[in-house]
Structure 1
Amino acid sequence: MQESIFRKSAIPVAIGSIIMVIIFGIAWFRDQNDVYTLTLATGSKSGQYYAFGQALSKVVSRHNPHLKIKVIESSGAVENVQLLQDNKVQLAFVQSDTNVSPSTKAVSFLFPEMFHLIARKDSGIKEIKDLEGKGIALMPQGSGSYTMFWVLSEHYQLDKTRLQTNSMMPLEAHEALNQGKVDALFRLVALGNPAVIELLQNPQLELIPIDQGAALKLNLPALEEISIPKGAYNGSVPIPQQNLPGVGVRAVLVTRKEIKQEIIFEITRILYEARNDLVKEFPQAAMINEPNNYRNLGFSFHPGALDYYNQGQPSFIVEYAEPIGLFVSVSVLFISGIWQLRLWLKGKQKNRADLYNLQLLGIIAKIQTIEDVNQLNAIRYQLLEMLEKVIIDLDKDLICSESFQSFTFPWQVALSSIHQRETLLIRKQQQKMIIVDEN
């Protein structure tokens, strides 16, 4: 009877167990084969944003088959920010001067985009001021190029009533300049843009210098003073014929703060660790810089990106071991000094240990200022000589065993401080060597 009941109750348990195994198996299988898709807002198809987006999508898929980036065309940075805020995209390209909401987080600073002012030689345009009264082709409204032209015109105090501007799509603007329908074109684009290279093969066109980069940066810190190198757009007959003063702004890959931390970590990792593959697809990717130089430009980084950038950073205790060690050492010596003073006041013991401890205090303070490993070795030898003198004094009963013990602890602290300082100096030397190698 009991055996029959047991068998009947065991059957549902077994069936339930099998179902749970199947459910967990399906979940595991889906997790292993799921593809996480993110949509990336870029720019016009003729621009560098779109080209780099395509390159990034290809390289990310190659290095992580569970990640897919869908690239879409847009009118530029302003629309990209709006698409991101409306949750219609999860990634976007903007410029480092773009105002973004707190919910928008940076993933990485990318390549610089240069101000390109191209004019017809027969237009009489030789500098920014000459744009007044001329026909100027601008990029579509809402693009970073369009916005930055008006920043430029305000800095140079151009009379807006005398500016004959016309917003166009990039290819349309290039064609209008080629055919002489406009006198000049202003566009923000990375160096080496194929459409700009083709445009500048027209001998009737030339690049106009923008020579007040440092002054522009005073009011807009996101700008960078970057020259257009001689021959950047043609090597045989150099275009430009000499290094041309210019201004640039850094492109930034941004995301929504709600995007999973591990997803952004993986995209950041691929950006930096698959750099060679990315450069093959998009050469300007070689100009992607570490984010430390850009933390003051109003962007906060996504936690996933920070996880990648902070890899290998020492813990708080390791990073601040020297000041902590100094604080502990000074504290111990202070307490030791008070204790010795108490003994002296009570008349129990008066010996030469106080002198040695004071010397140790001076040595510890000196250690923290030394910048030469050889000097640390000299102080280490000095400590050994001091220890030898104290042992002799102990043997001659000039100090008592309790005083000797009170000496040995700060002596060991001093020796440890030498080791800590030595480690720090070696680390600094290695970092300088790495920086030199990278340069």
Structure 2
Amino acid sequence: MTPRKSYAALTFTFAATLLALLVFAIIQSSRTTELKLSAGQQGGVYIPVAESIARLIQQEDEDIEIEILESDGSAANAIRLSKGECQLALLQNDTPGDDTIRSLVPLQTGALHFLARKDAKIRSLGQLEGKRVGVGLPTSGSHRLVTELLRHFEVDLNRIDLKPLTIQEASEQLKAGKIDAILMMIGLKTEVIDQVIATGQVEFVPIGRHAGPGSVIEGFRLTNPFVDPWLIPRYSYAMPHGDLPGVPEEAIPTLAIRSILVARRDVPDPVARQITQLVIENRNRLTQMHRDVSLLEDGLDSSRFQYPLHPGATQYYNRNEPGFLLRYAEVIGLAASLLFTAYGMIRTGRRWLLQRQKDRIDAYYSELNRLQDHMLKPLSLEQVQGVEVQLQRIRSTALNLLSKERLLPDESFRIFQTLLAEASAQARAKRQEAPTDTDGPDGD
């Protein structure tokens, strides 16, 4: 194949590859991303929040479709993420999981609701012994946290009738008197809890005496670092009879955990960034859809997350930070100056080296020219042999310098070889013409 044909084939291959990549990029950009978001139980806060987020994202970006999945709670969601059964989920920040999980957006804060029937006479965690208590399903984050809390306060779990119930089931059984208390992580103003309180048959029970420094919750945090002391505000829930503005009458010390919108780490970075951006920048709309997301923040302390941020979310949160070039402008400027200086020195050194090589080959040109001029004169055989020795020396020296790269195999060197060959031929011809020792006036 001729060079021209090879070049044409290479150009065609490159163009075809570029076109294929362009078509692939167009197809990929037009594809709809389908995601499954594992939420929570009916009657809880996770499903309404998840539905609000999904509705917002699909209104703002038609290329992202989100399907909401019911689940038994945070622990079940973490398992689904690990198995790849969903790509997004809502988790309590303290939920155990594996390295497939990445954080996107902090959402609402869930508070531990300790509600007891007034006739049960329960005033503390220690008085739960012998009582029937709804603590959430075994696959919920609430169930695990409550059992750890009871152990921390040295409450004998074998002496409590712990009921694995959904929020809806626990609320109904508490109203019906089938259980004595609820101990669950629940978002403030959850509707089913509001309905239970509206009966006037239940009351809040505090966790410790206060939620400030040195509280019992601070001690619990030593082994559960993602838990925060919290106060259920006064009058969070309305009273139905109008004789009081609401309950509780005083702020109730308890503990709280942030809920997090998380993703699998294999969710593409652009998709994760888009979801993070849409949720954060439309938090006012989300608040109108569901009040629990009113605690959304634009900034965040990622050290308060159990799971590392998804790279796509990191890109969004760092959007206002100076870029790499701006942050390291001085260092880059110094490096550029040093590189330009080094480049200039290398160019100067190269020019000097090339000049030395040129000067060296020019010296050989001069030597060959001198020898050729010398052979224009009548020479004896001995003188011709001396010229041939000098030519051989020049040839050997030049080849030695060439092997050491002190001469370049360029056009100047090829001219030198031509001149050397001409001088050698001239010397051979001169040797044939030179008189020998037997030649003379009487030699015939």
| TM-score interval, normalised by the smaller of the two chains | 0.5 to 0.7
Report how far residue 214 of structure 1 moved: 1.9
Distance 1:321 1:128 in 2: 59
After TM superposition, the structure 1 = structure 2 runs for residues 286-365 of structure 1, keeping only pairs within 5 Å, are: 286-290=294-298, 292-315=300-323, 318-319=326-327
- Which residue is equivalent to 1:10? none
Instruction: Spell out structure 1 runs of 4+ moving beyond 6 A.
Output: 20-27
| CA distance 1:321–1:209, shift in 2 (3 Å) | farther
- Which residue is equivalent to 2:116? 119
- Which residue is equivalent to 1:249? 257
- Which residue is equivalent to 1:278? 286
Calculate percent identity across the aligned residue pairs: 25
- Which residue is equivalent to 1:160? 157
Can you list the C-alpha shifts for 1:344-379, whole angstroms capped at 9, x where unaligned?
Answer: xxxxxxxxxxxxxxxxxxxxxxxxxxxxxxxxxxxx
**Partner SS state of residue 253, structure 2:** coil
**Partner SS state of residue 292, structure 1:** coil
Match for residue 218 of structure 1 among 219, 222, 238: 222
Can you list the C-alpha shifts for 1:14-44, whole angstroms capped at 9, x where unaligned?
Answer: xxx9xx999978984x556532110000110
Range with greater deviation from structure 2 (100-109 or 234-243):
234-243
Given the alignment of the two structures, is residue 131 of structure 1 paired with residue 128 of structure 2, yes or no? yes
Q: Find the structure with the greater CA-based Rg.
A: 2
Report how far residue 297 of structure 1 moved: 3.9
Count residues with an aligned counterpart: 308
Contact 2:81 2:100 in 1 (8 A): no
| CA distance 1:317–1:34, shift in 2 (3 Å) | closer
- Which residue is equivalent to 2:436? none
Contact 2:233 2:252 in 1 (8 A): yes
Range with greater deviation from structure 2 (212-221 or 288-297):
288-297
- Which residue is equivalent to 2:95? 98
Distance 1:227 1:321 in 2: 48
Report how far residue 293 of structure 1 moved: 2.3
**Partner SS state of residue 39, structure 1:** strand
- Which residue is equivalent to 2:105? 108
Given the alignment of the two structures, is residue 55 of structure 1 paired with residue 52 of structure 2, yes or no? yes
Report how far residue 319 of structure 1 moved: 4.6
Can you list the C-alpha shifts for 1:281-300, whole angstroms capped at 9, x where unaligned?
Answer: 11111102356324254321
Contact 2:42 2:168 in 1 (8 A): no
Report how far residue 111 of structure 1 moved: 1.1
| CA distance 1:199–1:263, shift in 2 (3 Å) | same
| CA distance 1:296–1:137, shift in 2 (3 Å) | closer
Report how far residue 100 of structure 1 moved: 2.1
Distance 2:75 2:42 in 1: 16
Alignment-mate amino acid for residue 263 of structure 2: T
Contact 1:109 1:291 in 2 (8 A): no
Structure 1 segments unaligned to the other structure (5+ residues): 1-12, 329-439
Distance 1:272 1:225 in 2: 25
Alignment-mate amino acid for residue 279 of structure 1: T
Match for residue 175 of structure 1 among 172, 176, 201: 172
TM-score (norm 1): 0.65
Contact 1:132 1:162 in 2 (8 A): yes
Q: CA RMSD in A?
A: 2.8
Report how far residue 172 of structure 1 moved: 1.6
Can you list the C-alpha shifts for 1:111-154, whole angstroms capped at 9, x where unaligned?
Answer: 11100111001101011111111111221111011111101101
- Which residue is equivalent to 1:260? 268
Distance 2:35 2:93 in 1: 22
Match for residue 84 of structure 1 among 81, 96, 100: 81
